[in-house]
Amino acid sequence: MSHRRISKKRVTMAGGAVVALAIAGVTLQNANASEEKPQFKLKTLSAPAAGTLASTLNGNLGESAAGWYYEAGTKALVMNVVDESAAETVRRAGGKARVVQNSTAELKSARQTLADRATVPGTSWAVDPVTNKVVVTADRTVTGDAWDKLSGVVETLGGKAELKKSAGEFKTFVSGGDPILGGNARCSLGFNVVKDGAPHFLTAGHCTESIQTWSDAQGARIGTTVASTFPVSDFGLVAYDDAATDAPSEVNLYDGSSQPITQAGEAVVGQQVVRSGSTTEVSDGQVTGLDATVNYGNGDIVNGLIQTTVCAEPGDSGGSLFAGDTALGLTSGGSGDCTSGGETFFQPVTTALAAVGAEIGAGSGAGEGAGAGDAAGDQAGDGAGDAAGDQAGDQAGDAVGDQAGDDAGDQAGDEAGNANGNGNGYGHRSGSRSH
């Protein structure tokens, strides 16, 4: 047997090579670690707080932002962007980032093309941030040449739009229910509001368009139309004939209870919402689109609507759309019913309030406590820095990353809630049959 001798020099060199590889390995690991993207904490947010954060990010990102929505399952803001640099900005702020193909400007241009070339009765369109496209929906009346025209325009938009078919028919929900009656029309009360210190209520504009006087379900006169807008928008304002009418800021839940309404807010795509109406009472669903355009036919085209999966039927028109204590919209119209489902569109309540110069959840008719609660709510929102109203000072403060302070937000929010609680519980209610 022969033994191979390895010189000490070679052993030393081999050992040195092992050490060199080990050092190189450490160096390589460190290099890879330095190249990894930093990890950012995803914030848990309410829908209003997500909206506040999105608004701030939109301002910071400019043209790089491409829409956003609320992910209810994870309670997170999902922000669409067109480049990785913007995505990192979103992650740093605590949101989820999605790099998408279509920019906001491109989707806006697609909407304009549809408005210019595809004005077909029985259609709607809205930007869907989940698919990053303009979703065009045609109801069952769109057939033949109208369908060919619509589908042809959508096809020219390529990946910026998609076409869907609805089994129902887009219509306003005017007749067939109570509690507010005018002539042969029956609609639903939306929200009690205050204008110039006097009690009023909001309902759908297609209800108030041709009706001046309103009665309750028992035929007793309750109010007079003082403002009405339809089409383009869909809201009307009715003044209570008796200035001493108790008109609390709340919505009927049709189970013997009511939901206090302390503020108005903007709807958020992905948000869970509830509708109250006199025909189908209470239904819930999800917001699927904003700034929707709906063509009800006969030249009645309404813009800027909230699109949802909530069901509704005739007589629910004008009824309340809300989330918690926040008023969101007034029932406009849609397709389907509460048996087969369908789409329902709502007039944003913030637009209606601004147009008629009214306030929600404050002033006379709802009681002095409600007015105090509103003021306290505003203070709470300001103290939190980015709160969406007075509802979630704590979460909204986190949303925009400022340091408003948990204690200040909680204390002001409690004061708002306590003050609001003193002004509710009696009289004419939103979406109510008790007039």
Q: Which residues are known to be catalytic?
A: 206, 234, 317
Q: Which two tokens mark 413?
A: 């929010």
232-254 per-residue burial string, b: 16 or more CB within 10 A, e: under 16: ebbbbbbbbeeeebbbbbbbbbb
Nearest Cα residue to 51 out of 374, 279, 360, 391: 391
Q: Which two tokens mark 431?
A: 């979406």
Q: β-strand 180-182 against 171-172: which pairing, if any?
A: unpaired
Helices 84-93 and 47-61, packing angle to 10 deg: 140
* Neighbour tally for 339: CB within 10 Å: 9
The alpha carbons of the chain give a radius of gyration, in whole angstroms, of 28
Q: Find the largest Cα–Cα distance for the chain.
A: 119
Q: Is the separation of the CB atoms in 251 and 264 below 8 Å? A: no
Name, in order, each residue with C-beta under 8 angstroms of 326's C-beta and a sequence gap of 6 or more. Answer: 48, 261, 262, 263, 264, 265, 388, 389, 391
Measured distance CA(405)–CA(393) in Å, rounded: 9
Per the listing, tokens 């999902």 go with: 78
- Residue 248: is the preceding peptide bond cis (ω within 30°)? no
